[in-house]
Amino acid sequence: MSFAEPRFRTHERDVDDHTTVIAVEGEIHVSTAPDFSGVLAAAIEAGRTALVLDLSGVMFIDSTGLSVLLNALRRLTRAGGAMALVCQNPTVLRLFEITRLDSTFDIHAEVEPALAAVQAAAGANDSGAP
């Protein structure tokens, strides 16, 4: 008996020097979380302080995936950045509600409002910098 490889893919679109949209497709769970974590870490290390994670193509996320999201949010917050999620899947949205992470994450139904939110937040955090 063999198991199918988990369906997981990301696509990055740079908006400007500090802003990136990362579209995620498939499942975010214990098997795919290390890859997802690596993508987010690489973006943050590259100076991307305004991240939009488009989860519109995500069918499933588990506690490991939520942990990856929380760790990325923590790193961005420490760097003076911002992150917003785009999510329309009722099952995935329900998970954020059940875990009460809907109040931790800035969640939008579409990419453009999420972009505006992270750019405004990251810009506000930059305004006090020397």
For residue 2, being part of any structural domain is answered with: no
For residue 88, being part of any structural domain is answered with: yes
Task: Write out pLDDT tens, residues 1-55.
Answer: 445 566 899 999 999 999 999 999 999 999 999 999 999 999 999 999 999 999 9
13 strand-pairing partners: 21
Residue-range definition of the domain harbouring residue 88? 8-125
For residue 50, being part of any structural domain is answered with: yes
For residue 27, being part of any structural domain is answered with: yes
For residue 1, being part of any structural domain is answered with: no
What is the enclosing helix (H) or strand (E) of 67? helix 63-78
In whole angstroms, what is the distance from residue 116 CA to residue 130 CA?
24
Strands (E) in 62-103, as ranges, are 82-86
For residue 130, being part of any structural domain is answered with: no
Give the domain CATH number at 114. 3.30.750.24
In whole angstroms, what is the distance from residue 33 CA to residue 130 CA?
36
pLDDT of residue 125: 66
In whole angstroms, what is the distance from residue 129 CA to residue 39 CA?
27
Task: Write out pLDDT tens, residues 51-94.
Answer: 999 999 999 999 999 999 999 999 999 999 999 999 999 999 99
For residue 59, being part of any structural domain is answered with: yes
Q: What is the pTM of this model?
A: 0.90
In whole angstroms, what is the distance from residue 85 CA to residue 106 CA?
6
Split into its structural domains, the chain has a count of 1
For residue 110, being part of any structural domain is answered with: yes
In whole angstroms, what is the distance from residue 2 CA to residue 5 CA?
9
